[in-house]
Structure 1
């Protein structure tokens, strides 16, 4: 289900400028912004929390992205993220984001989980004489382990992810410090016995004394009666071993009271008999503490020596964690990294408002995608349409997606989306009326316009919602047109929404402006939330009012009051919209047909190429086989020649035999050569075409291709059938030369042709020749003798005769003519 959560702003209106700074991808990163950016940074900070970023809800996007970070370091960098106005810096940010996205998509994210925020410990370490506690040192050790693993992980893929590798070069592993902390502090944050030989000695002595003390107290406890002992256990109070004695039995035990229970019924007493052992234990404990302090001080000194490297590495880990967060956001919401357009043109393809996308995911609803091209020669886009149709959301989506891209964030849009980079962005969206400040809605708008006029420039994007409203429509339209004139003359890019008809005409009259509208389903009287660029839209106030229950007579009278021209203009807009929809549907239909035609054409061309290649291969194999036959025949001829010589045959006969074999061999070689070269030009042969024959002569096509692939060609005074594949198109028809048709007398032409023992190809050549001779001799009938046999030659010949242009009819022979062993042919 496609829907829209709101069409107008719901958070209160304000117009603020975002003066975008140049600097690192994340605020607070090592190095920070350039010194010369100080003034610019101050201007950004003034508007960052309550200005355009607030109106476009950039803060909500930062919070959403920050929730994907592993550490507070990454979250803080995302929350402090600011857009950049430098195209090179924006491209560098997006490059890093793109590489991190790819890492996540391939399932190879850097091992950032478990990053500890040790900044306070590092600050304490910087103070002379300070000593880090074991748990702090253990946290430093964990960070060092992540530094090493992350650097190694990215270094292994440095060719694929060069930007991330360059960033990871700021990580400084400290293997010696890492090993030393491991030897001295265990994972639970306790100093190990192995931290020093002296500490091991003291702890062994301390363990022995404690054991002796416990044995002595337990012996004493066992000797006391139940009337004195509250509970037979040994516990510790104020660092001393004590036993619980009933308050009434204190006289029976000599010792020092260290504590009592809340009820006063139990006293915790250190027996005097254990005092020497107690003191020895305490002495050893103090000695242990001093040695631990000495070990920790040494480790702190080691940390202090690499403090700059640790701080720099921590900054890089924070940046990588922030990159991981924004890439995780992109992966989770189907976002992509857009391209930076340096021509000042924004091309949104299947873009969706990020806040709506996040909100609708929870309910299973879908956000209608936005397609928009803006910038370049088009400096004003005026969006009209019905209330609650999505005009304001388009305005906010364009502004928010631009801010996200300039901050280096992936955006929910096609990867082919392009974003223009702006130095300033102004947004006048919503109502900032103040009763306390005595500011009307109109006055608030004008105040904001005044600031925009004074500060907007060529590299500025201005977003104006409901332009020209909150005052008299005529005066509001006039002020709006003058405001647009002023901004467009300064080269500012403006996207505005309105309901005023005069502004639609204004946009139509300017070459650098385009009207656009939010599509409205007139049958259902509901918005579709789709932006249509090129035509203004109607507000559909009358139709929506009727749907919401306003009496019909009220709506009818309203149309009368509005005047005929306005109604006709609205009707014209509706007709244009209907024509546009029909045109789009027709274009889509034709596009489908075109693609299908191209697919079929490519399919059939592929099949045709395959068939031709197969035919060429078959013929090539046949010619190769023929060449082999000729070689074998040549051997036979040579043997025959020897026999002829042996029989004293004439030299002339031998020479003639050899020449015949050579001619046949040359013909086969020429055909093989022709096959190995590029295929001849393919064209549709038609009667009258001038062609070049395989033997070099030129002729005219007088008969189309028959079923065997042969074409009838007039060459000089003769007509011959030649394979279509052996013909080439000639540039011009052959010169006409006088020739005489040879006279053929009926008595010289036999009416019977014996084809028995021939192959089909041989028989066809003979039949062609006899038909030509019969025509020249004015004969009208031929008898083809092919025999009965298997009937294969008979069937093929009759199929051929069906296609022959000079054959009127044919029939099997009668009983007295040879029956089915002959075919009688009637010639035209």
Structure 2
């Protein structure tokens, strides 16, 4: 239900309809635009939104057949009657439209997965190639009947051409004779009158040329004469032309008879062509508005982000003006938004935007909101905007408003959206405010959803004290004395009447007198509203920052927790594999020694053979040493990863239990062996203030003294004995293969922030494993958001030594160059 009857003109939907109609290529498409109407059926709305969404993708990404959309249904209906046929323009229009239909159906072939809804509709259309082939054999690309449409027509046209050629030559000769005799002007050319060739002759000489006068000039000074000797030939040509016309009529009748059995099957194809023209027009309008087909539910609700008034958006599009988007939320808990604020502050535009976008959505049109928005479905939309006074019906402005309110209360329910502008105005303010408050209470009791604008203070108080109704304010900059056109939910707005009057230039005496009459309490009410608004903005900003930091912290903790779990799992696997490999190496070494001793004994200590056996054993030893060197290098990498894990642990809010191991009273000195918080054992090389330089194999690191635990030499030996060998040979082979395939550059353009960070994290881990220090991250320039996120991550990563922009000629700010500290 839509109320009142002129609802569309009130919300300016008639202008939207006109804009869409301009995009149609045919009258049948425009007819569908005029038939477009409000629907509360979820299935119908969903299908219409899917259709326009698919067409918007087509128009953005593909080349759609866009030729001719002529409506041939009237022509086809005409030839249903036996004996009637299409004339040549109608035949040409039929041919062009059928060609367009064939092209459209070919476009949708094999695209069921890409455009399922439109492809399904196209699949229901049946066309008959015979009809188009027959048309091709009759009509030329120039829109005429072909000479070979029939053998008789071709013969007739050849005879006409032959006779016209003969007449043309003879007429040129007669004209030259007349010019020689001075009966015709030198620059005169042969003319055509009534389809016959004539010679223009001055009126004074018309008796000199034998023939028939067919016409005269407007001044009567020139006569157009057909010479006697070519009259007969012209008559023959005329008879041939009539015969040509009869033959064409016969061809057209035959064509009509041939396609008459197919008419009932062809006409639905034109219904589809009209649908394509109509849907394409809606899609073009949506693209022009930067609109979307939004997510929606069957519940009566609104959750809109960055909602824009379509007409204002198009008006401001090519100007330097900025359209401020709106955020509107209506649900069962927040059913009615009561908007207040200064005049010309955007209250009515906000109200109209709510009604127009909801109506557009339920008409199957795309709407200009952000992707995060969600729409609901209302069964009734009732609106009260503007002046409805009527002299004929003896209605004043206020009476018309009251009639609307009566209907709102009568028909309003939880599936109803009401839109009321300047609620309660039009009569004495105190009485009008009381009636408005009572009506608002009744609407709220009926669980009606709505957007209402007002200036009445009593309604603001009522909204703040009543569940289901929420105050909203159109913000106003009282320093610059100009509206901001921003809707803020949760507080009432001030009318800024005194500020606006002062800006306009009303005298101070008048303003002081007005202030004394209204009372300081009311003046201070607006002042308090402004103070509350300022304080609320401040604390909202604080709360927003805290929420963002908490969210970021939770993400970091979760991410590090997952990485630590994965590292722990990998460490256990490596230790297990290393232990197995150590057993294999020990067994192989023992086997080699035993074989060597056995061979020496068998050969009775022959010097030459003993020397060869020793060389073989030495080669096996060198092989083992080489493997140990590789294992040692990988072990250093693992220690680096361990250090990174422990640094991440320190960044989490939880306190590490290792931090309390070292007693404060133990004095450390150069040469002592100490245990780090990650259980690694190293030797102190140097102590500077509260930090110590620790040697961990070939790695040096700075650690705070209070985090170190002194260990004995026996503990060091035990640690060395129990430390596991490194990794399995297959793992080393995998590392070598990765080193060959690794590229020190990564491209994250087009990715979302979280996806890009995950890819950068994996990239850095692989670079550390492969000992690659110089890296490049290609993120593009764009808005700079992705670059900022990546660099913020790099600044917190302990493996990153430095990062900077690439050289300008190599990409500049679109590429970040990273140097790892490994």
CA distance in 1, matches of 2:296, 2:374: 6
User: Which residue number corresponds to residue 206 of structure 1?
Assistant: 160
Report Cα offsets for 1:145-166 as digits up to 9, x if no partner: 1101101111221222111112
User: Which residue number corresponds to residue 508 of structure 2?
Assistant: 552
CA distance in 2, matches of 1:468, 1:280: 87
TM-aligned CA deviation for residue 273 of structure 1:
2.4
Task: Please say if 1:52 is aligned against 2:4.
Answer: no
Task: Please say if 1:227 is aligned against 2:182.
Answer: yes
Alignment of 1:98-117 (within 5 A): 98-105=53-60, 107-117=61-71
The alignment partner of 1:306 has SS state of helix
Q: 2:30 aligns with which of 45, 63, 75?
A: 75
Tell me if the contact between 1:213 and 1:274 (Cα under 8 Å) persists in the aligned partners.
Answer: yes
TM-aligned CA deviation for residue 706 of structure 1:
6.6
Residue 284 to residue 590, structure 1, CA distance change in 2 (3 Å): same
User: Which residue number corresponds to residue 694 of structure 1?
Assistant: none
TM-aligned CA deviation for residue 622 of structure 1:
5.2
The alignment partner of 1:144 has SS state of helix
The alignment partner of 1:366 has SS state of coil
Q: 1:171 aligns with which of 115, 121, 125?
A: 125
User: Which residue number corresponds to residue 21 of structure 2?
Assistant: 66
TM-aligned CA deviation for residue 643 of structure 1:
10
CA distance in 1, matches of 2:413, 2:564: 62
TM-aligned CA deviation for residue 588 of structure 1:
2.1
Residue 563 to residue 292, structure 1, CA distance change in 2 (3 Å): same
5+ residue gaps, structure 2, are 603-637, 650-654, 662-673, 683-695, 697-711, 722-822
User: Which residue number corresponds to residue 395 of structure 1?
Assistant: 351
Report Cα offsets for 1:458-477 as digits up to 9, x if no partner: 43211111111121222112
Structure 1 or 2, whichever has the larger Rg, is 1
CA distance in 1, matches of 2:261, 2:346: 59
The alignment partner of 1:535 has SS state of coil
Alignment of 1:418-567 (within 5 A): 418-433=374-389, 439-567=395-523
Per the normalisation by structure 2, the TM-score is 0.70
The alignment partner of 2:226 has SS state of strand
Tell me if the contact between 2:471 and 2:489 (Cα under 8 Å) persists in the aligned partners.
Answer: yes
CA distance in 1, matches of 2:200, 2:228: 14
User: Which residue number corresponds to residue 2 of structure 2?
Assistant: 18
The alignment partner of 1:412 has SS state of coil
Report Cα offsets for 1:35-56 as digits up to 9, x if no partner: xxxxxxxxxxxx65xx111110
Q: 1:709 aligns with which of 662, 680, 687?
A: 680
User: Which residue number corresponds to residue 344 of structure 1?
Assistant: 300
Higher mean C-alpha deviation, range 204-213 or range 597-606: 597-606
Residue 611 to residue 530, structure 1, CA distance change in 2 (3 Å): same
TM-aligned CA deviation for residue 763 of structure 1:
9.0
User: Which residue number corresponds to residue 192 of structure 1?
Assistant: 146
CA distance in 2, matches of 1:490, 1:533: 22
The alignment partner of 2:234 has SS state of helix
Tell me if the contact between 2:303 and 2:373 (Cα under 8 Å) persists in the aligned partners.
Answer: yes
Residue 389 to residue 228, structure 1, CA distance change in 2 (3 Å): closer
5+ residue gaps, structure 1, are 1-16, 20-46, 647-674, 690-702, 712-722, 724-752, 767-828
The alignment partner of 2:181 has SS state of coil
User: Which residue number corresponds to residue 590 of structure 1?
Assistant: 546
Tell me if the contact between 1:257 and 1:267 (Cα under 8 Å) persists in the aligned partners.
Answer: yes
Residue 469 to residue 66, structure 1, CA distance change in 2 (3 Å): same
Larger RCO (alpha carbons 8 Å, 6+ apart): 1
CA distance in 2, matches of 1:604, 1:527: 47
User: Which residue number corresponds to residue 92 of structure 1?
Assistant: 47
Residue 268 to residue 371, structure 1, CA distance change in 2 (3 Å): same
Report Cα offsets for 1:193-246 as digits up to 9, x if no partner: 100011111112222222333344444445545233456643332233333334
CA distance in 2, matches of 1:128, 1:507: 73
Alignment size in residue pairs: 637
TM-aligned CA deviation for residue 688 of structure 1:
10
Tell me if the contact between 2:340 and 2:492 (Cα under 8 Å) persists in the aligned partners.
Answer: yes
Tell me if the contact between 1:686 and 1:704 (Cα under 8 Å) persists in the aligned partners.
Answer: no
Residue 253 to residue 577, structure 1, CA distance change in 2 (3 Å): closer
Tell me if the contact between 1:230 and 1:266 (Cα under 8 Å) persists in the aligned partners.
Answer: no
CA distance in 2, matches of 1:137, 1:614: 77
Alignment of 1:530-679 (within 5 A): 530-598=486-554, 601=557, 623=579, 626-635=582-591, 638=594
Residue 358 to residue 636, structure 1, CA distance change in 2 (3 Å): closer
CA distance in 2, matches of 1:486, 1:301: 69
* CA-atom RMSD in angstroms: 3.8
Report Cα offsets for 1:684-726 as digits up to 9, x if no partner: 454999xxxxxxxxxxxxx965786259xxxxxxxxxxx9xxx
CA distance in 2, matches of 1:246, 1:104: 63
TM-aligned CA deviation for residue 507 of structure 1:
1.8
CA distance in 2, matches of 1:326, 1:200: 47
Residue 438 to residue 687, structure 1, CA distance change in 2 (3 Å): closer
Considering fraction of residues, name the structure with more helix: 2
CA distance in 2, matches of 1:567, 1:170: 69
Report Cα offsets for 1:615-652 as digits up to 9, x if no partner: 66875675455334311333156459979999xxxxxx
Tell me if the contact between 1:112 and 1:321 (Cα under 8 Å) persists in the aligned partners.
Answer: no
Report Cα offsets for 1:231-286 as digits up to 9, x if no partner: 66433322333333343334433322222222323322223323332222222221
Residue 216 to residue 348, structure 1, CA distance change in 2 (3 Å): same
